[in-house]
A and B are shown apart, each in its own frame.
Chain A
Amino acid sequence: NAGVTQTPKFRVLKTGQSMTLLCAQDMNHEYMYWYRQDPGMGLRLIHYSVGEGTTAKGEVPDGYNVSRLKKQNFLLGLESAAPSQTSVYFCASSYDSSSGNTIYFGEGSWLTVV
């Protein structure tokens, strides 16, 4: 059971560098999300997608871009990394249902920007 898979798991970047985090889900979910987790702040939504080819801004979208070219993949890009983007990033997915969405999370990607 792969579920939600994130790559890479760990990365150190220099300020100004760019990188892409890849998220893949094998549950045929329509909805995918990128969250960041910072100490004492819980998880905050960066961007989300309600289907292939669609993306939308979440709570903290600045400095990030996303793409959903294939239903199973959701990419998070940092064009010019800043130390404030040091965080743990979680991808998640869900299948909308009338009983309320259960969101499934990946295991996280630890990003350090120096």
Chain B
Amino acid sequence: AQSVTQLGSHVSVSEGALVLLRCNYSSSVPPYLFWYVQYPNQGLQLLLKYTTGATLVKGINGFEAEFKKSETSFHLTKPSAHMSDAAEYFCAVGEIAGGTSYGKLTFGQGTILTVHP
């Protein structure tokens, strides 16, 4: 079974500071990896995803993540935080079954990002 661990349920940064949200996964096969963002009272929006190829993935709103197989990690970063980045972030791993992904995701528990002025 796959699992996802997000280190830190709450992360607080100052506006303009580096954002680093940590995600580690376990999977017996090469995974698909995702980061989603959830703003208050809204659904989840895809930030970025890794499937194959380049291990540094760029997403929307200036976020990027790097897939490190040796560390089983997919940490999310942004060089300079904005107030509008305050939200909850979810890391997820996609299940691959028989070579065809049915798109089932296993989510981490979420990290709430707070940005201070």
A-B contact pairs, 30 of them (CB 8 A): A4-B43, A31-B102, A31-B103, A35-B107, A40-B9, A41-B109, A43-B90, A43-B107, A45-B104, A45-B105, A45-B106, A48-B102, A50-B102, A58-B104, A90-B43, A90-B44, A92-B44, A94-B103, A96-B102, A96-B103, A99-B51, A100-B49, A100-B51, A101-B103, A103-B34, A103-B103, A105-B44, A105-B45, A108-B42, A108-B43
Q: Nearest Cβ distance between residue B89 and chain A, in whole angstroms?
A: 11
Interface string of A99-113 (1 = CB under 8 A from B): 111111111100000
**Chain B residue at minimum C-beta to C-beta distance from A110:** B41
Cβ–Cβ contact A107 & B43, under 8 A: yes
Measured in the bound complex, the distance between the Cα atoms of B104 and A88 in whole Å is: 18
**Given known contacts A100-B49, A101-B94, A107 and B105 CB-to-CB distance under 8 angstroms:** no
Which residues of chain B from 80 to 117 have a CB within 8 Å of any chain A CB?
A: 90, 92, 94, 100-110
Measured in the bound complex, the distance between the Cα atoms of B51 and A96 in whole Å is: 13
**Given known contacts A41-B109, A99-B51, A100-B32, A48 and B43 CB-to-CB distance under 8 angstroms:** no
B17 touches A (CB below 8 Å)? no
Name the prevailing secondary structure of the B interface residues. strand
Measured in the bound complex, the distance between the Cα atoms of B51 and A56 in whole Å is: 24
Residues of B within 8 A of A106 (CB): 43
Other than A42-B109, A105-B36, A106-B43, give 4 A-B pairs with Cβ distance below 8 A: A42-B110, A58-B104, A102-B46, A102-B49
**Given known contacts A31-B102, A101-B101, A107-B42, A44 and B9 CB-to-CB distance under 8 angstroms:** no
